[in-house]
Amino acid sequence: MIESQAVIAIDGPSGVGKSTISRKIARALGFTYLDTGAMYRAVGLFLQWNRIDLCDDQAMRTSLAKIQIQLLPGKNEDDDTGVLLNGEDVSGAIRTPEMAMIASKVSANPLVREKLTALQRELGNSGGVVAEGRDTGTVVFPRARFKFFLDARPEERARRRVRQLRMRGETADEQEILEMTLLRDKNDRERAIAPLRQAEDARIIDTTSRSIDEVARLVLEVVLEERTETTDPREDHIQPAG
Ligand code: DC
């Protein structure tokens, strides 16, 4: 059974600051950070490397059965989650704009979603998790104790992505990244299964003109405040680390 009280679900489109904020929250609470997007990226990479046709169910089933994904927490707070794909370190390879688009495409496939949703539930089962993605509050952990939906204006999200890529020493064109951001939003919001949308019971935070620290503080305030208001002992997971 999924231990809903101990799960914090943070969803939203790309570039809203989900990953950085989720890592901060997880660190502050002593929780595990579950980067579900990294898993879709890893599956996308495997399917691309092996030239698997997404419409070929038999090939998809055989391929998905072969995929083993291991998430490696970043060493520093600013590090993205690393990924071992069948034992191979693909941490860098999955973080390109091209892989983001491929991940978005493969994530619409029902077999991919079935496999990764099950894996994410397995990882979140023991609780103490900050799960971040597109459907963690709606589908993966619908009974999560806390749900947040982060949003921001597309232009600002694209600007953040460009800054991130340039900091990694890559060239990035703002207009091109904006177009990719809008296209990815459309794919993620319009797909038939587990589309990107806010859960009805999610708190919405607009991050357009808020700093990462400000948003992280807002989330922590909600989590810690509710904890002090409740007497349910099952919620004892939610407390600051150290
Ligand atoms: O968060 P990200 O940019 O690493 O995610 C890459 C893609 O993976 C995203 O465009 C859609 C897909 N994804 C998903 O469908 N469901 C999730 N829970 C997380 C990511």
126-145 pLDDT per residue, tens? 889 999 999 999 999 999 99
**Ligand 1 center–CA 41 separation, angstroms:** 7
> Which is the closest atom of ligand 1 to the Cα of 108?
15
Give 54: exposed, middle or buried? Use CB within 10 Å, 0-12, 13-18, 19+.
Answer: middle
Q: Is residue 196 included in any domain, yes or no?
A: yes
Instruction: Give nearest CA residue, ligand 1 atom 6.
Output: 37
**How many structural domains comprise the chain?**
1
Q: Is residue 217 included in any domain, yes or no?
A: yes
Per-residue confidence (pLDDT) for residue 229, from 0 to 100: 64
Tell which one of 39, 104, 114 to mutate to probe ligand 1, the residue whose CB is within 8 A of the most ligand atoms: 104
Instruction: Give nearest CA residue, ligand 1 atom 20.
Output: 37
DSSP class of 9: E
Distance separating alpha carbons of residues 80 and 102, to the nearest angstrom: 18
Q: Is residue 184 included in any domain, yes or no?
A: yes
Give 61: exposed, middle or buried? Use CB within 10 Å, 0-12, 13-18, 19+.
Answer: exposed
Q: What is the pLDDT of residues 143-190, one digit of tens each?
A: 999 999 999 999 999 999 999 889 888 888 999 999 999 999 999 999
**Ligand 1 center–CA 103 separation, angstroms:** 6
On whether the CB atoms of residues 159 and 172 are closer than 8 A, the answer is no
**Ligand 1 center–CA 116 separation, angstroms:** 11
> Which is the closest atom of ligand 1 to the Cα of 184?
10
Q: Is residue 21 included in any domain, yes or no?
A: yes
Residues lining ligand 1, Cβ inside 6 A: 14, 36-37, 40-41, 100, 103-104, 107, 133-136, 184, 188
Please provide the DSSP assignment of 144-204 as one string. -SEEEEEE--HHHHHHHHHHHHHHTT----HHHHHHHHHHHHHHHHH-SSS-S---TTPEE
The amino acid occupying position 43 is V
Q: Is residue 42 included in any domain, yes or no?
A: no
DSSP class of 55: T
On whether the CB atoms of residues 180 and 192 are closer than 8 A, the answer is no
**Ligand 1 center–CA 47 separation, angstroms:** 16
107-134 exposure pattern, b = at least 16 Cβ within 10 A, e = fewer: bbbeebbebbbebbbebbeebbbbbbbb
Per-residue confidence (pLDDT) for residue 241, from 0 to 100: 34
Instruction: Give nearest CA residue, ligand 1 atom 5.
Output: 37
Per-residue confidence (pLDDT) for residue 230, from 0 to 100: 55
Place of tokens 């700093």: 211
Q: Is residue 231 included in any domain, yes or no?
A: no
Q: Is residue 137 included in any domain, yes or no?
A: yes
Angle, CA of 149, 153 and 154, to the nearest 5°: 105
> Which is the closest atom of ligand 1 to the Cα of 107?
15
Provide the residue-wise pLDDT of the chain in tens; the chain has 242 residues: 333 457 999 999 999 999 999 999 999 999 999 999 999 999 999 999 999 999 999 999 999 999 999 999 988 878 899 999 999 999 999 999 899 999 999 999 999 999 999 999 999 988 899 999 999 999 999 999 999 999 999 999 999 999 988 988 888 899 999 999 999 999 999 999 999 999 999 999 999 999 999 999 999 999 988 766 654 433 433 333 33
> Which is the closest atom of ligand 1 to the Cα of 188?
11
The whole domain housing 158 covers: 7-35+97-221
Give 185: exposed, middle or buried? Use CB within 10 Å, 0-12, 13-18, 19+.
Answer: middle
> Which is the closest atom of ligand 1 to the Cα of 38?
4
Number of Cβ atoms within 10 Å of the Cβ of 141:
27
Average pLDDT across the chain, whole number: 90
Please give the helix or strand (H or E) that residue 44 lies within, else none: helix 36-49
pTM for the full predicted model: 0.90
> Which is the closest atom of ligand 1 to the Cα of 14?
3
Report the greatest alpha carbon distance in the chain: 53
% of residues, the chain, pLDDT over 70: 91
* CATH number of the structural domain spanning residue 141: 3.40.50.300
**Ligand 1 center–CA 130 separation, angstroms:** 15
Q: Is residue 55 included in any domain, yes or no?
A: no
